[in-house]
Structure 1
Amino acid sequence: MSRTHFHGRTLARSQALQLLFQAEQTARSVDEVLEGEYSLSEGPLDPFAIQLSRGADGMRSDLDAVIAACSTNWSISRMPSVDRNLLRVAIYEMLEMDEVAVAVSIDECVELAKAYGTDESSRFVNGLLGRVATQLEEGTDVVADARLKVGAQAREDVEEG
């Protein structure tokens, strides 16, 4: 993937991204990936990477709803897989890991997007995560709100189609 060498929690986030990416590409869960052979650009596997990847994988449908609700002009299926999985890691961390500041989650995701994504990835993930952060600061239950928006959009699509 990248020739950049990461350390500490940045390395763990990179490993979580790689595990989620492999799970998505092979239509398996992260647990199934971890039970078999998996590939990491740098190792050994960090326990924080396991926690992030399992957590994000377990909340995938909720995280995808948040991504879809906060994304403008991009359906989740059209997003590059790296961006989609980076967003899953960062939003999981923002929602579930109180010991990590939201700004840190965003900054780390942007740096990983620069290393692994396209030329536009870092701006895209920064903008989307900024929208999530604003909602969190306002006290919005972003998961419940996203479920409502995604459900309403699905009903609209059925009515139009």
Structure 2
Amino acid sequence: MGQRRAGRELALQILYARDAGKQELRETLRGFREGVEADQRTREFAEALVQGVEEHRDAIDAAITARSKNWSLSRMPRVDLNVMRLAAFELLFRSDIPKKVSINEAIEIAKKYGDKESPAFVNGILDELDACPKDEERSTPE
């Protein structure tokens, strides 16, 4: 597994744990630093993704909600939602990562951690998000 894939998977686990435990991000990160083995570059990439998602969470959630026909965020499986949050952060706020890479990585991670419908669900929403001009999404209230 590549270093960035490992970082994305670690970031997913951190976001999921934070949602499940309702802890502050700082506490969740401390737990992962102490309890999960990962090389420094993987850990730094994961933490940068998590912090980016947290910083832009309102805009990211608004972008996902706008593309989720008949699905509120509260009804979405936590794994799928957090996979989409990570990819949406990359699509909207990380110009150094190719869009196709972000989407493909999200689909592969959804296959591994989600259920059988997760990859198609994640792909559908991210494809719509990718088709939207960046300026429209960045103007979403934060």
Say yes or no: TM over 0.5: yes
Map 1:8-157; keep pairs closer than 5 Å: 8-35=3-30, 37-38=31-32, 40=36, 43-44=38-39, 46-136=43-133, 139-144=134-139
Residue identity matched to 1:125: V
Q: Structure 1: any 5+ residue segments left out of the alignment? A: 1-5, 148-161
Maintained 8 Å contact 1:63/1:143: no
Which segment is superposed worse, 105-114 or 54-63? 54-63
% of aligned pairs identical? 36
Report the secondary structure of 2:123's partner residue: helix
Task: Encode CA deviations 1:23-68: one digit per residue, 9 max, x unaligned.
Answer: 1111123322113x2355x624521001001110122122111111
Maintained 8 Å contact 2:92/2:138: no
Flag the structure with more relative contact order, 1 or 2, with Cα contacts below 8 A and sequence separation at least 6. 2
Instruction: Give TM-score scaled by structure 2 length.
Output: 0.88
Number of residue pairs aligned between Structure 1 and Structure 2: 137
Maintained 8 Å contact 1:65/1:143: no
Query: Alignment RMSD, CA only?
Result: 1.7
TM-aligned CA distance change 1:103 to 1:69, over 3 Å: same
Instruction: Give TM-score scaled by structure 1 length.
Output: 0.78
Residue in 2 aligned with 1:150?
Answer: none
Alpha-carbon distance between aligned partners in 1 of 2:106 and 2:25, rounded to the nearest angstrom: 19
Alpha-carbon distance between aligned partners in 2 of 1:30 and 1:89, rounded to the nearest angstrom: 15
Residue identity matched to 1:78: R
Alpha-carbon distance between aligned partners in 2 of 1:17 and 1:29, rounded to the nearest angstrom: 16
Maintained 8 Å contact 1:31/1:54: no
Higher fraction of helix:
2
The runs of at least 4 consecutive aligned structure 1 residues that moved more than 4 Å come to: none
Which segment is superposed worse, 118-127 or 59-68? 59-68
Task: Encode CA deviations 1:94-130: one digit per residue, 9 max, x unaligned.
Answer: 1111110111100000000000001000000000000
Residue identity matched to 2:122: V
